[in-house]
Amino acid sequence: MNKLLHELQQAAAERETRRHFLHTCSTGLGAMALSSVLSSCGFFGKGSPQDNTVGSTQPSGEPTAPHPSQFLPKAQRVIYIHMAGSPSQLELFDYKPELTKYNGKDCPQALLEGKKFAFIRGVPKMLGPQGKFAQHGQSGAWVSDYLPHLQGVVDDITFLKAMHTDQFNHAPAQLLMHTGSARLGRPSMGSWVTYGLGTENDNLPGYIVLASGGKQPDAGKSIWGSGFLPTVYQGVQCRTDGDPVLYASDPSGMNRDVRKQTIDAITQINQQQYEDVKDPEILTRIAQYELAFRMQMSVPDAMDIKSEPQYILDSYGVDPNKGSFARNCLLARRLVERGVRFVQLFDWGWDTHGTSADGSIDIGLHTKCKESDQAVVALLQDLKQRGLLDDTLVVWGGEFGRTPMQENRDGQVLPFMGRDHHLDAFTVWMAGGGVKKGFSYGETDDIGYYGVKDKVHVHDLQATILHLLGFDHTKLTYQFQGRPFRLTDVAGKVVKPILA
């Protein structure tokens, strides 16, 4: 009770702010200033003179309640699988037999002039592909022996083989891929999607993040943050070992009835504060308290894979007692099955510079592929057999590509085979959710250095994902700091040839 009284006192003190003073100022200047501040922060809701956003920025009731997209969507939900560090497209998907001819030779100066690399200095050696490639499926897609399971499902996949980005270091490239900007402070793609569509399950967050590989992505939690959107739309990271969400369980000595009474009392205090100051973040606070209470039952159930039949566990290659990327793939299916709108999987360890065996393209990359290949394919097949793949968009890729030359540092060849970061060419693939099956789009040159046909920028990929979810990416906006912002910034076009 003392804590409740303290929160009430704190709430009363917070109401006596500069904003509150301006709002109540009798001269009228305060109201004018407040109007300017609120419009720049995206306070005015849909239908107000200042509104040019999709959906209300001042939600009534539950801010994550489901609401329709701008037009009929082909995808209802997204599973985005990000291999943090960036796998080498030249070992996996982009078959370049010509590159083999140049293996071990000095890189031509024409490929180095005017270029910036993360680590390469001097004149590196060219490096041929290390995987053994063959064509698979009726589509004849090229996939190497690094991914034997994926070879069997290429006819369900669209490959984007001429992806390019603006950033060659991990953190800014990851930010660009997931927030549309290389700088901190923008909402993540999952936040935009839940802002635009809401969620189909009141008892689970609309946007859930699962990480594996032992470390967080280089850009940190900002790549699933909500930026300037209300924080109710940020990603919720769930753990795969122990309690899925920390502090969600009831405190020791408190039963659920007492817990519910506490939540109700806090809600009344927050609702009174919202009526006084109309700050949309208060609605977020209310929603988060209530969702956390409901999650106490729903999250443990969703994250408990021991209820899955043994043949499903075996198909993913999951040990139910250990956290792993394979376990996260299975959890992704369970979450979208329960109405979670956006599930983000991050797997760390795909940065193959050649500085160590684990970080090499002939040893480390092979190991990472072996750890993930079976689970990714099991996820696609599991979604398909449950009738979920048709309206679930699965995206797989990294933040950039790898160079066709072997990495050196200060002119010295590294002890293992590795490739530096490369922004001009990499591969992303997509499946389900309205994209063509068994289709490859885009081409790179003979050594995989530049895209030469049907290039796709990161913003184009983002625009296409939003389009499949039923949104014109130029109109899914949020008013902030005096102008409407969007995921694709001021660029991006839908890649229409890949649409089914």
- pLDDT digit string, tens, across residues 53-110: 454 333 445 778 888 999 999 999 999 999 999 999 999 999 999 999 999 999 999 9
Residue 271 tokens, joined: 């609702």
SS3 175: helix
Whole-prediction pTM: 0.83
Q: pLDDT tens digits, residue range 213-227?
A: 999 999 999 999 999
Q: pLDDT tens digits, residue range 275-289?
A: 887 777 777 676 666
Domains of the chain: 77-248+300-498 (3.40.720.10)
**For the chain, what percent of residues have pLDDT higher than 90?**
67
pLDDT score of 42: 40
Residue 215 tokens, joined: 């470390």
Kindly list the distances between the CA atom of residue 144 and the CA atoms of 318, 404, 455, in Å, as whole numbers in the listed order: 24, 16, 22
Residue 277 burial by CB count (10 A; 0-12/13-18/19+): exposed, middle or buried? middle
Q: From the CB of residue 79, how many other CB atoms can be counted at a distance below 10 Å?
A: 26
Average pLDDT over residues 257-276: 74
Average pLDDT over residues 452-481: 97
Cα separation, 106 vs 98, in Å, equals 15
Q: From the CB of residue 359, how many other CB atoms can be counted at a distance below 10 Å?
A: 19
Cα separation, 92 vs 366, in Å, equals 10
pLDDT score of 271: 81
- Give the confidence band of 38 by pLDDT, cuts at 50, 70, 90: very low
